[in-house]
Amino acid sequence: MHDRRIPEWLRHAPAPSVRGFAILAGTEAVARGILISVFPLAMYQALRDAQVVSAIYFGIGVVSLLIGLLVPYVIRFIPRRVVYVAGTLTFAGGAILAATSSPLAVAAGLALTTFAVVITFVCFNAYVLDYIAKIELGRLETSRLFYSAAGWTIGPMAGVFLYRWWPPAPFVIAAMAALAMTGLFVYLRLGNGKLITKSRRPPPNPFAYFPRFFAQPRLVAGWTFAVVRSCGWWVYVVYLPIYAVQNGLGDTLGGIALSLSNGALFLTPVMLRFMQRTSVRFAVMTGFVMSGVLFLLAGAPHGVPYVAVVSLMCGSFFLILLDVSAGLPFLLAVKPSERTEMSAIYSSFRDVSGIVTPGVAWLVLLVAPLSGVFIAGGAGLLATLGLAARLHPRLGAARIAIEGAPQQGAFVKATVTSEVV
């Protein structure tokens, strides 16, 4: 007799797990990692002017910021699952468009993939806050970075070599990875998240949550850390490859350096233990001090381009430490009723840094060589140290009672979802 029962996984969708979210993030890392070192090269080869490249990145950043802030408003009319899938398909379309290699197509492809990353990032963060308990967020972040490590480590170097072999190759692979994200998302059956109810009131203005955001210092601090950290990544990812080409180091060095730097993602469990044994504040301060000093060293007039490259690579290690630790003040302060809206505000760090970095770089390049951009990046990282020093020394630690006596312990493993640029 045949068993006609409906499979359990069809009748009751399993709750999304840490591993499921980590695999989804790892797939995105493949799509983004293989293009992250290719787009700056493609843009510079098409335009041959670092200032023009900065201006295009600046314009894309402005539009991307507006899109990110509007996502929560759009989700009130269009189901979140549809918005997420639209984001992955937009990424695939942008990658295919950029594969045509014409200057206009490359710029348009960069814009579409950037917008897609913002859309999926807002939705991803909202899903995480829906389904993953705060006590599990640190495990998720460590797993997410670990699963993403291969994409971010192999992707940049593979991207530049494939680009030299056949320019459309990395864009085609990125499009395929974006389509794989779509399939994986459907398989995970995340739906529209939790706490979805039909409101009888009209949707609020998408900017209505800003006063509540600025009224919470921990949210503002976490967002500021994310902006400055992302500015550091922008300097590293966009301007290091251009610097290498200008100084005769070749057009593959930027991708190789980024791949080697991202190999530190495999050390995120060690970074998490370092944060547990010291404190979140100490980890954040260490990240900003060391990355800032090393970026300043890269911009110093030493006449040896390789010194700048090595200094930036060492500085990127501490940017990864900030990826692990610096978002904690934001995430622990988010209220469940404000998940989507605050996720959208937080995700704006990527777009704000995408506006600030090329804007500052454009001004610096008016009066200084490209190494001046490294100095500006280092100064910004060091300037954030004062805000990091004001964090509570016991942030991230929970008080537990052992035999009736309250003691400090049980580090709350929670870090905000963030990534390279």
Q: In a structure prediction context, what are the per-residue pLDDT tens digits for the chain, which is 421 residues long?
A: 454 554 544 444 555 677 888 888 889 989 998 998 889 888 888 887 878 888 888 888 889 888 887 887 888 888 888 999 999 999 999 999 998 878 889 999 999 999 999 899 888 877 877 776 655 666 676 677 778 878 888 888 888 889 988 989 999 999 999 999 999 998 887 766 554 444 444 445 556 677 878 888 888 888 899 899 999 998 998 888 888 888 888 878 878 888 888 787 778 778 888 888 888 888 889 999 999 999 999 998 877 888 999 999 999 999 988 888 877 777 766 776 676 667 667 777 877 888 899 889 989 988 888 889 999 999 999 999 888 888 777 765 543 233 333 333 333 333 333 444 4
Instruction: Say which residues have a Cβ less than 8 Å from residue 50's Cβ, sequence separation at least 6.
Output: 44, 239, 242, 246, 361, 365, 370
* Nearest of 160, 410, 392 to residue 282 by alpha carbon: 392
Compute the distance between CA of residue 99 and CA of residue 292 in angstroms, rounded to an integer.
Answer: 36
- In Å, what is the CA distance from 172 to each residue of 32, 86, 157, 176, 184? 12, 18, 16, 6, 19
Domains of the chain: 16-195+207-411 (1.20.1250.20)
Q: Which two tokens stand for residue 296?
A: 């300043």
* Half-sphere exposure for 150 (CA within 13 Å, toward CB): 8
- Which residue bears the tokens 């951009």? 373
As a whole number of angstroms, the longest Cα–Cα distance in the chain is 82
Output phi, psi for 57, to 5 deg: -60, -40
Task: Give the per-residue pLDDT at 4.
Answer: 54
Q: Do residues 170 and 38 lie in contact, with contact meaning Cβ atoms separated by under 8 Å?
A: yes
Task: Give the per-residue pLDDT at 206.
Answer: 52
Task: Give the per-residue pLDDT at 195.
Answer: 46
SS3 398: strand
Q: What percent of the chain is modeled with pLDDT above 70?
A: 81
Output phi, psi for 401, to 5 deg: -95, 125
**Which helix (H) or strand (E) element contains residue 281?**
helix 280-299
Compute the distance between CA of residue 267 and CA of residue 35 in angstroms, rounded to an integer.
Answer: 23
DSSP state of 251: S
Compute the distance between CA of residue 209 and CA of residue 216 in angstroms, rounded to an integer.
Answer: 11
Q: For 338-396, how does the pLDDT look when each residue is reduced to its tens digit (9 = 90+)? A: 766 676 677 778 778 888 998 899 899 888 888 899 999 999 999 998 888 887 777 65
Compute the distance between CA of residue 355 and CA of residue 68 in angstroms, rounded to an integer.
Answer: 13
pTM for the predicted model, two decimal places: 0.74
Instruction: Say which residues have a Cβ less than 8 Å from residue 406's Cβ, sequence separation at least 6.
Output: 399, 400
Angle at 32 between CA 105 and CA 321, to 5 degrees: 140
Residues counted in the chain: 421
